[in-house]
Amino acid sequence: MSNHCHQDQTHRWVLCPHCDMTTKLPGLVPGTRATCMRCESTLATAWHEPLRRPMVYAFSALVMLVLANLFPFISISVMGMTNQISLLQIPQAMVDDKYRFLATIFLLFVQIIPATCLASILILTLNRRLPRQLTIPLAKGLFYMKNWGMAEIFMAGVLVSFVKLMAYGKIGLELGFWPWCLFCLCQLRAFQCLERHVIWQRISPVPPLPIEPTAGISGMNQNLRSCPCCAAIVAADDRYCPRCHQRGHARKPQSLQWTLSLLVTSIILYIPANIMPIMVTDALGSASGSNIMAGVIFLWNEGSWPIAMIIFVASILVPSMKILAIGWLSWNAGGYGTRDNHRMQIIYEIVEVVGRWSMVDVFVIAVLSALVRMGGLMNVYPAEGALLFCLVVILTMFSAQAFDPRLLWDREAIKTSEEESIE
C-alpha cells in the first residue's frame, strides 16, 4: 500500500530547472501556480481545462495563419503608384535580392516554426490516444522550438516599418493584416496555457523515482537529475530518460565553454554589423546605404521619437546589454564576482525573454525591401549588415541556451559545505 501511494505521488516531485532545488508540488487548484522556494521560478501552473484551452487557441491561430497568407497583407501608394504584398512575397523579394539566408530565417522563424508548434499542440491535446512513436518526437520538438517562433516580433517590425513608410506615401492595411493580428494573439495565448507536465503526463506516466527525494535539497546532492526534455526525475548516472529517451546530464556538458565560444563569435560579428549598412535605399537612381544607428537618427529627426527609441533599445541597447549580461553570468558561474544568486537569476530570466526582440530591425528591413519596389522611383534592398546582425541575434540566443543557470546555485552549495566544514 505504501509503495502504491509513493507511486501516486511521483508526478508531484520536481527539480527546479534554474536552481536544481527539489520540491514536492502541492495540490494546485485551477488559476494558481507553484514557485521555487529558492529562486522563485515558476515550477507549474494549474489552468482550467489544461488540454482543451491550448487546443482551441492553437486551432484558432492556425486558421488565422492560413487566412493571413491567402490575402494581400499591406500596400503603399507613392505619387500615384501602388504596390501591395502578401506574406509569402516578403521572403521571395529577399531571394530575388540574393539574400536567401535572410529569406530562410524569415520563413523559419515567422511561419514554419510557429505553424509546426501549433500543429503539434493540436495533435498532442486531441482526445484520443496516439502512438508514442509520434507523440514523443512531437513533444520534444514543440518544447524546444516554441521559443524560436517570432511572429509577434515580426508584427512589431511591421508597425515600425509603417512609421518609416509614412514619410514616403500612404500605407494601406489589406485583408491579410487583420487575421495576422489575431494569429499573433492566439499563438501567444496557446503557448501561455501550455503546461509541460500536463502534456508529458498525457503521453506517458512519470517513471518511478530511483530514491525517495528530500525536499529543499539540490537534486545533484541526492544523485538525481531532471530530464531536460520532459522534466522527469531520474538517477544522475542514467544517461537516457526512461520516458522520452532524451540523453541528458546532471549539468549541461561544457556549458561555460560553449556559452563563451558563442558569445565571443557574436561579439566579433557585432562590430561590423553595426558599422556596415543594413539597408540600401535607391531613390531616382541615387543609392544610399544606412546602418542601424543612421535609421535611429532618421526616425528621431522625423519626430518619431517613440519608434526611434524602440529601434535603439531593440537593435543597439538590448544586444549590447545581452552580451554583457551573458558574460557577467559566465563570470559568476565560473567562481568569480558577486555571489548574489537572486540578482543573477533575474538577469538570466531577462536575457531569456528579451533576446529575441533584437530581430525586430531585421524584420523591418524584410518588410521595406518587399514593399518599396517602385521601379525607377524608389526601391529598398537589404545589405550585408542585416545578415551579420541576424547572425549576432541567433548566436546570442544559442549562447543563452548553452548557459546552465544551475551553475550559479552550485556555488552556494559549495560555499555552505565549506562553512559547515570550518565549523
Domain segments of the chain: what residues? 251-409
Residue among 88, 69, 146, 154 at smallest CA distance from 114: 146
Does domain 251-409 fall under CATH 3.40.190? My reply is no
pLDDT at 107 over 60: yes
Residue 411 in contact with residue 339, Cβ under 8 Å?
yes
Please tell me which of 53-62, 274-283, 405-414 the model is most confident about, judged by mean pLDDT: 53-62
pLDDT at 133: 87
Q: What is the pLDDT of residues 154-166, one digit of tens each?
A: 999 898 888 777 7
Q: What is the dihedral of CA 91, 386, 171, 295, to 10 degrees?
A: 180
User: Average pLDDT for residues 335-341, to the nearest whole number?
Assistant: 75
pLDDT at 422: 42
Residue among 389, 405, 99 at smallest CA distance from 266: 389
User: Average pLDDT for residues 337-356, to the nearest whole number?
Assistant: 83
User: Average pLDDT for residues 61-81, to the nearest whole number?
Assistant: 91
How high is the mean pLDDT of the chain? Answer: 86
Residue the block writes with cell 549588415: 385
pLDDT at 291: 76
User: Average pLDDT for residues 358-381, to the nearest whole number?
Assistant: 82
Element (H, E) at 135: helix 132-145
Dihedral of alpha carbons 18, 390, 309, 178, sign: negative
pLDDT band at 376 (very low <50, low <70, confident <90, very high): low
pLDDT band at 410 (very low <50, low <70, confident <90, very high): confident
Residue among 99, 117, 102, 112 at smallest CA distance from 54: 117
Residue 231 in contact with residue 14, Cβ under 8 Å?
yes
Percent of the chain whose predicted confidence (pLDDT) is above 70: 91
Distance, CA of 77 to chain centre: 35
pLDDT at 303 over 90: no
